[in-house]
Structure 1
Amino acid sequence: MMRLLTRNQSRRLDQVSMERLEIPGLILMENAGKEVAEVTESILEGKKREKQIAICCGKGNNGGDGFSAALHLNHFNVTIFSLPAISDILGDSLHFYNKCVGKGMKIVHGYELPTSNEFDLIIDGLIGTGFSGEMRSPLKKWTKWINQQDCTVVSIDIPSGVNADTGSASKDAVEALLTVTMGCAKVGMMLNPGSSYCGEIYPAQIGFPDVLDELEGVKWRSFEEDLAFEHLTKPDSGTYKHRQGKVLILAGSNGMTGAATLSTTAAMRSGVGLTMTSAPESLNSIYETNLMEGMTFACKDDGKGYLAEQNFEEIHSHLDWCDVILIGPGLGAQGTTRQLIKKIILSSEKPLVINADGLRCFIDNHDLFQQISAPLVITPHYGELASILGKDIQEIQSNFPNTLESFLKDFPGVIVAKNAPTCTGFRNEVVTNTTGNPGLATAGTGDVLAGIISSFLAQGIPAFEAAQCGVYIHGLAGDIASGDLGYRGLLAGDLLETIPEAIKQYEYC
């Protein structure tokens, strides 16, 4: 597991370490510099000591870590570029700056760019976790210069120009090959586009105490593969289809029967024993043709091609049969369909997975969540989440972590927020996924995801863990498929062929 910290949690960890537990800031900075130096040496291992290293130091602790690292790398040909004036270097940073001066290390002051472009490695210590917005001059020309060099770049804590909370990145943010992050990676380092600037992430243990669970705010972490090993083992030899779980699926309408096929087949491919998919009567032959392994039942629709409030009793009579109800893929936007969905979710005691059109009944009706008594998983993308919250998509994107944390405060279920990466939240926890690729940005992949989660939930995996595993397997299936098909050629239906391969590796371990 990789625990992740917000900007405020990272600052609070520093404060708790120094104030309450009396760990000197000098010790933390000394250890940070040592860790950066050790990583740097491992990159340059076996190379001549004449190799040239540039260490770019800005204000604050990030620059101080750079001065500290320089002391441990003094046996190389090191040039320190100290952008702030000496009078602006304060506190612990000044201590390590003075030690560099005392050792006679080469220090260049000011914002003028180097005349030499022959460095073998650059350490970026310009800006730390406090950055937000856009890079300004004169720092901007420095980050641009770093990116133009043909050499390895190592960033301290977080690449300069990347927002530690949102993952947004300035146009000229530093593009690191490796980031030595102090204690824990920052949330923004997992979110796009920030993750693409970090390269390999190396969490450095610099002496922080074990107080992470005491930090205020949502507990962020990356997905633990151990969860897949725990829940996706080979089924018992004595199992049978009813024990493997039953999913009732409300999906599809005129023009969108494919959504029903994708979600139903995904549930079957993920190991559920039985599925039953409701079909508007006028479209039932399409469902019967495409769902060879799954059952269907036809609901009267007077030839309209969609489910309506009048179908409530027909559908309600099947609720006792199932273990989980999946609602939403391709159901359409009709008002009467929305009323049907509302009546079903309020009357159900079975776990609910609500996706796509199933989420429409919560628009301007956020309080409806509180009226649901059954276990609940919702899977909105940015647009759907914005509609539910009555916010602009740009507002959601620019402040995603805070938006998600605020939503979770009074949300009774599990949210699978389809982001890059997808984030799964429940109560005071959010888990970022570690699989997936841009090829999944195509129609129908969300329906496949909803089917996988429903299947895992019906097989008895708890809702939060079923959602995490579902997101992980969905992304892994996409990674497997893109290996053969590339990204642009990937279709949602291709995932149906790779879901078994994604799961198989956990069944035989």
Structure 2
Amino acid sequence: MAEKIAQKTLLKSIPKRKTLSNKSDGGVALIVAGGAKFMGAGLLSALACTRSGAGYTHLMTDLVRYPWVKFPDFIVHKFSLATLKKHSGNVIAMGPGLGTEKSKSRLLRALLKIGAEKVILDADALSILSQMKVKTLPSSWILTPHEGELARLLHVPVKDVKTNREYYLQKAHLKFGCVILLKGYKTLLASKGKITYASFGSVALAKAGTGDVLLGVIAALRAQGLEAYQAAALGVLIHGTAAKDWEKKGNDHLGLRPTDLIDQIPQTIKRLRSTAKGN
């Protein structure tokens, strides 16, 4: 039976800077996302990462389509195994809009081969993983599937996952051995054999692109030193609360854009930090 995520404990883990801190204290995150057809997905993840405190945000994406003038926020790279290897010790978040062709599959295989520890997989990266013969993953990795992606990872019908989410999440956790965040109403997280749930979100998040934002938030938190489960759980808290905060400003839930969510993140983090101090 899933237990509710301990919100008070999570709030205490919100990263903070000291007076003499510099950008290196925020860590480094490499977002590998945004192929030729879905450039926006990579931009959303990278923007969310910068908004959530990462000291350096790198974006490996399709340079031909990259809108250089409008988005100078990131250190941008073409898809490259060499660059990926250079970042093997940093946080690497892979998947949104990436594509599933062989060249992208090689990127994921490279992460496994070089032993990267701080990896987060979402979207197309999960589809690639579902076609690989992988017995287990490092326990420090994070997978962030929705129900359809979890079904693909386990090679079971989606309807089965929908009707028994905890069972299949636990099954996936036993299979891969890492932290798994199952998105959807009442988000579930599996870590170290335990399942917890969160109800921080809003129906406003039922829109394409909001999952890309979540990936960026989690990557930034991981880069700032949070452990895998802690980063995933706090990411869900910030992400869901930001959507609610945006609605409280008088906005209807139908109108939330992923970019609205990203712009809301700093205000929400500040409010959550104040709440933590008040406890």
TM-score, with structure 2 as normaliser? 0.92
Q: Secondary structure at the match of 2:12?
A: helix
Counterpart pick for 1:442 among 203, 207, 210: 207
Deviation, structure 1 residue 268: 1.0
Gaps spanning 5+ residues in structure 1: where?
A: 1-5, 7-219, 300-306
Gaps spanning 5+ residues in structure 2: where?
A: none
Distance 1:350 1:277 in 2: 19
Matched, 1:481 2:250: no
TM-score, with structure 1 as normaliser? 0.52
Kept in 2, the 8 Å contact 1:354–1:378? The answer is: yes
Deviation, structure 1 residue 246: 0.7
Using a 3 Å threshold, how does the CA distance of structure 1 residues 233 and 244 change in structure 2: closer, same or farther? closer
Counterpart pick for 1:336 among 79, 83, 103: 103
Deviation, structure 1 residue 338: 1.7
Deviation, structure 1 residue 236: 1.8
Distance 1:482 1:254 in 2: 33
* Percent of aligned pairs sharing the same letter: 28
Kept in 2, the 8 Å contact 1:386–1:393? The answer is: yes
Counterpart pick for 1:315 among 80, 84, 96: 84
2:88 alignment partner AA: L
- Quote the residue 1:254 is aligned against: 36
Kept in 2, the 8 Å contact 1:349–1:374? The answer is: no
Task: Please list the CA deviations of residues 129-175 of structure 1 after superposition, one character each: whole Å capped at 9, or x if unmatched.
Answer: xxxxxxxxxxxxxxxxxxxxxxxxxxxxxxxxxxxxxxxxxxxxxxx
Larger radius of gyration: 1
Using a 3 Å threshold, how does the CA distance of structure 1 residues 242 and 295 change in structure 2: closer, same or farther? same
Where relative contact order (Cα < 8 A, 6+ residues apart) is larger, the structure is 2
Deviation, structure 1 residue 491: 1.2
Deviation, structure 1 residue 276: 0.8
Deviation, structure 1 residue 439: 1.0
Deviation, structure 1 residue 506: 3.3
What are the residue-to-residue correspondences of 1:345-360 with 2, within 5 Å? 345-360=112-127
Distance 2:52 2:73 in 1: 13
Matched, 1:293 2:73: yes
Using a 3 Å threshold, how does the CA distance of structure 1 residues 410 and 273 change in structure 2: closer, same or farther? same
Kept in 2, the 8 Å contact 1:431–1:468? The answer is: no
What are the residue-to-residue correspondences of 1:166-181 with 2, within 5 Å? none
2:126 alignment partner AA: L
Task: Please list the CA deviations of residues 431-452 of structure 1 after superposition, one character each: whole Å capped at 9, or x if unmatched.
Answer: 1112111110101111100111
Deviation, structure 1 residue 369: 5.2
Task: Please list the CA deviations of residues 225-275 of structure 1 after superposition, one character each: whole Å capped at 9, or x if unmatched.
Answer: 212321115322221111111101111011311111110111111111111
Computed over aligned residues only, the root mean square deviation of the Cα atoms, in angstroms, reads 1.8
Matched, 1:469 2:249: no
- Quote the residue 1:29 is aligned against: none
Q: Secondary structure at the match of 1:442?
A: coil
Kept in 2, the 8 Å contact 1:411–1:427? The answer is: no
Kept in 1, the 8 Å contact 2:45–2:214? The answer is: yes
Counterpart pick for 1:238 among 20, 23, 30: 20
Task: Please list the CA deviations of residues 404-439 of structure 1 after superposition, one character each: whole Å capped at 9, or x if unmatched.
Answer: 222222332100101211111112211111211111
Between 475-484 and 415-424, the greater mean CA deviation after superposition: 475-484
- Quote the residue 1:494 is aligned against: 260
Task: Please list the CA deviations of residues 81-134 of structure 1 after superposition, one character each: whole Å capped at 9, or x if unmatched.
Answer: xxxxxxxxxxxxxxxxxxxxxxxxxxxxxxxxxxxxxxxxxxxxxxxxxxxxxx
Kept in 1, the 8 Å contact 2:44–2:212? The answer is: yes
Deviation, structure 1 residue 293: 2.1
1:330 alignment partner AA: G
Kept in 1, the 8 Å contact 2:138–2:178? The answer is: no
Kept in 2, the 8 Å contact 1:267–1:452? The answer is: yes
Distance 2:235 2:185 in 1: 15
Q: Secondary structure at the match of 1:453?
A: helix
What are the residue-to-residue correspondences of 1:43-442 with 2, within 5 Å? 220-232=2-14, 234-284=16-66, 286=67, 288-297=68-77, 299=78, 307=79, 311-320=80-89, 323-365=90-132, 367-368=133-134, 370=136, 372-373=137-138, 375-442=140-207
Deviation, structure 1 residue 359: 0.9
Using a 3 Å threshold, how does the CA distance of structure 1 residues 428 and 314 change in structure 2: closer, same or farther? closer
Kept in 2, the 8 Å contact 1:268–1:455? The answer is: yes
1:422 alignment partner AA: T
Kept in 2, the 8 Å contact 1:409–1:427? The answer is: no
Distance 1:407 1:318 in 2: 27
